[in-house]
């Protein structure tokens, strides 16, 4: 098989400024070597910080100006490290193209879809505007966007996340590149859209006879799309082999740990395996989770909850869009209710409506949400402010939910000051330090800022901030979706420990059914704002009644076929 791309002893360092007159460098990639054959898919796998994205972005030199590269990157025998800037500009998009994780940060919000697809066609292929528009319509149809001619006039914000990612793929494939670099292209998508994008990439790869460099931390996805897998950690290749060998007989302890720490659809362990423990040979409790008390007191009861938004129609008119349609459920003390569904199903709106965080946006909310005998929707703003001490929320993105100008000490003390918890600053500081230790961080974190922490550490800080108010209910809105599998395992174990210690009740909103199975006692399945199925977790996973639930379960990536995902 002919080699299309060969990376040989690649090293990437970042200049970090001067100390005592000497330039300091941080080595992010440490001698990485692997090949990508023609018409093949190679997956780069590893945790956040493993160097996989830096390695991939080195190919087209899409790194910051302080990056220094050495080694060789041979594309069709030509060393890209020696290529000039004009040569690289000619190569990007035409011979090698990229699809990134977040399409909204990659697509220009002020240009229409048509403009963004036509740009590489005009620049690299010399097509006229008319020819480029005709080709753009063909590409939109090829990536599965309905009514492509009309949608060419849309702006990115007018499309769903899945459609935005399809537009990114259309832009990337416009000039029929020989190599497509896909950097976490499905991480932010729900399981059904993820399945569609994976199938689309596989189909286009075969049709166009191109190669795919697929970057992911999810071995379930990697097992379904790749021919060869390169496992990275701390900037080094720990193992590389055909995909069957990686799943059937992994050689490296780190690879085995990655496979083991993913929540399982078939097992129900009390705790998930954490990578460092697995590598060190420390085993987790393999027993099954103990059933919760079915007669525990109800802490939150929701009846007939509806939530609408006003949508502009014409110059002066408006229409009502119903996002949540008559939802009923009970949440018991110490229990976890999982809420699952595709993007747009209403699950996040449901959680935010309960907390009355949607009120400034207009639209109506009706029904009852009784907490400690009081209806949350009938409380005054002052009464609701006091109630929020007992019901807290952890959001999906820890990068956006922490104030970048506050130290961690300020972040943790602020809610205590607002709600009058603690006698003075020293008392509140002591409480904050104790909570940091509870979530696995030490006192040294108190004087740092959010940007000095990893995503998993920030999410732990967000959880600690919630705990400062000693809440009874936590609404967890995709709280682990942005985390790689190893950090996700740590946070899920932490949530279970906190629930056992404090008797917390969780409303766990997620599109990941494997995660929901691990942490939830009961599951609510939502579609188009309504509940279509509700059952105990084990019952729903074993025998779903609704076609929609079966479709959600069927869309979950399960790794290499014929091998049970760990």
Helix (H) or strand (E) holding 329: strand 317-332
Confidence of residue 364 (pLDDT cuts 50, 70, 90): confident
Whole-angstrom Cα distance, residue 285 to residue 246?
25
User: What is the domain partition of the chain in residue ranges?
Assistant: 3-261, 331-365+374-554
For the segment 275-314, what is each residue's pLDDT rounded down to a tens digit?
A: 877 787 765 554 555 668 888 999 999 999 998 887 666 6
For the segment 47-99, what is each residue's pLDDT rounded down to a tens digit?
A: 877 899 899 999 999 998 999 999 999 999 999 999 999 999 989 989 999 98
The alpha carbon of residue 231 and the mean position of all alpha carbons in its chain are separated, in whole angstroms, by 20
Question: Picking from 129-143, 148-162, 358-372, which range would have the lowest pLDDT averaged per residue?
Answer: 358-372
Do the domains at 3-261 and 331-365+374-554 have one common CATH topology?
yes
Confidence of residue 146 (pLDDT cuts 50, 70, 90): confident
122-149 average pLDDT score: 90
Report domain 331-365+374-554's class: alpha beta
Closest by CA position to 416, among listed 343, 470, 354, 494: 470
Q: For residue 457, what pLDDT is reported?
A: 86
Q: Which one has a higher pLDDT value, 340 or 281?
A: 340
Q: Which tokens hold the place of 414?
A: 């602020």
Query: pTM (2 decimals)?
Result: 0.80
Inform me whether the pLDDT recorded for 139 exceeds 80: yes
Confidence of residue 361 (pLDDT cuts 50, 70, 90): very low
Inform me whether the pLDDT recorded for 561 exceeds 70: no
CA dihedral 184, 189, 193, 194 (to 10 degrees): 30
Q: For residue 566, what pLDDT is reported?
A: 37
Q: For residue 285, what pLDDT is reported?
A: 55
Q: Which tokens hold the place of 102?
A: 């977040």
Inform me whether the pLDDT recorded for 178 exceeds 90: yes
How many percent of the chain have pLDDT more than 90? 48
Residues 225-239 as b or e (16 or more Cβ within 10 Å = b): bbbbbbbbbebebbb
Topology of the domain comprising 3-261: Rossmann fold (3.40.50)
- Rounded to the nearest integer, the mean pLDDT of the chain is 87
Confidence of residue 34 (pLDDT cuts 50, 70, 90): very high
Q: For residue 516, what pLDDT is reported?
A: 92
């Amino acid at each position: 098989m002919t080699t299309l791309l060969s990376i040989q002893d690649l090293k990437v360092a970042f200049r970090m400024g001067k100390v005592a007159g000497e330039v300091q460098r941080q080595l992010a990639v440490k001698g990485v070597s692997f090949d990508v054959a023609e018409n093949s898919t190679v997956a780069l796998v590893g945790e956040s910080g493993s160097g996989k994205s830096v390695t991939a972005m080195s190919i087209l030199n899409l790194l910051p100006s302080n990056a220094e590269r050495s080694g060789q990157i041979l594309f069709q025998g030509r060393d890209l490290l020696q290529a000039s800037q004009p040569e690289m500009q000619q190569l990007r998009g035409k011979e090698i193209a990229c699809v990134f994780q977040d399409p909204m940060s990659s697509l220009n919000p002020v240009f229409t879809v048509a403009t963004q697809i036509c740009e590489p066609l005009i620049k690299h292929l010399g097509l006229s505007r008319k020819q480029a528009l005709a080709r753009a319509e063909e590409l939109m149809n090829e990536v599965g966007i309905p009514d492509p001619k009309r949608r060419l006039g849309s702006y990115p914000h007018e499309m769903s996340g899945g459609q935005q990612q399809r537009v990114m793929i259309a832009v990337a494939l416009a000039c029929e590149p020989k190599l497509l670099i896909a950097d976490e292209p499905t991480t932010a998508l729900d399981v059904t859209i993820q399945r569609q994008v994976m199938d689309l990439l596989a189909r286009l790869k075969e049709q166009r006879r191109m190669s795919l460099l697929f970057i992911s931390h999810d071995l379930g996805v990697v097992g379904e799309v790749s021919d060869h897998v390169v496992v990275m950690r701390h900037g080094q290749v720990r193992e590389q082999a055909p995909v069957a060998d990686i799943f059937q007989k992994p050689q490296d302890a780190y690879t085995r740990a990655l496979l083991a720490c993913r929540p399982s659809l078939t097992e129900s362990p009390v705790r998930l395996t954490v990578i460092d423990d697995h590598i060190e040979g420390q085993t987790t409790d393999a027993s099954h989770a103990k059933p919760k008390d079915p007669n525990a007191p109800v802490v939150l009861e929701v009846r007939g909850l509806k939530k609408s938004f006003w949508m502009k129609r014409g110059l002066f008119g408006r229409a009502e869009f119903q996002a949540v349609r008559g939802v009923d459920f009970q949440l018991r003390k110490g229990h976890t209710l999982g809420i699952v569904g595709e993007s747009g199903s209403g699950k996040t709106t449901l959680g935010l409506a309960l907390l009355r965080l949607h009120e400034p946006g207009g639209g109506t909310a009706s029904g009852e949400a009784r907490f400690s005998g009081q209806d949350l929707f009938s409380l005054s703003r002052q009464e609701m402010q006091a109630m929020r001490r007992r019901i807290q929320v952890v959001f999906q993105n820890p990068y956006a939910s922490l104030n970048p100008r506050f130290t961690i000490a300020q972040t943790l003390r602020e809610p205590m000051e607002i709600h009058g918890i603690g006698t003075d600053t020293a008392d509140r500081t002591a409480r904050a330090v104790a909570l940091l230790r509870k979530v696995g961080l030490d006192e040294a974190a108190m004087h740092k800022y959010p940007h000095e922490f990893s995503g998993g550490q920030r999410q732990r800080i967000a959880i600690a901030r919630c705990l400062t108010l000693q809440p009874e209910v936590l609404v967890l809105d995709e709280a682990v979706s942005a985390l790689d599998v190893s950090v996700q395992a740590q946070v899920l174990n932490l949530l279970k420990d906190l629930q056992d210690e404090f008797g917390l009740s969780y409303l766990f909103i997620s599109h990941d059914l494997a995660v929901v199975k691990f942490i939830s006692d009961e599951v609510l399945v939502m579609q188009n704002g309504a509940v279509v199925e509700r059952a105990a977790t084990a019952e729903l996973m074993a025998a779903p009644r609704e076609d929609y639930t079966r479709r959600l379960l069927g869309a979950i990536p399960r790794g290499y076929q014929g091998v049970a995902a760990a």
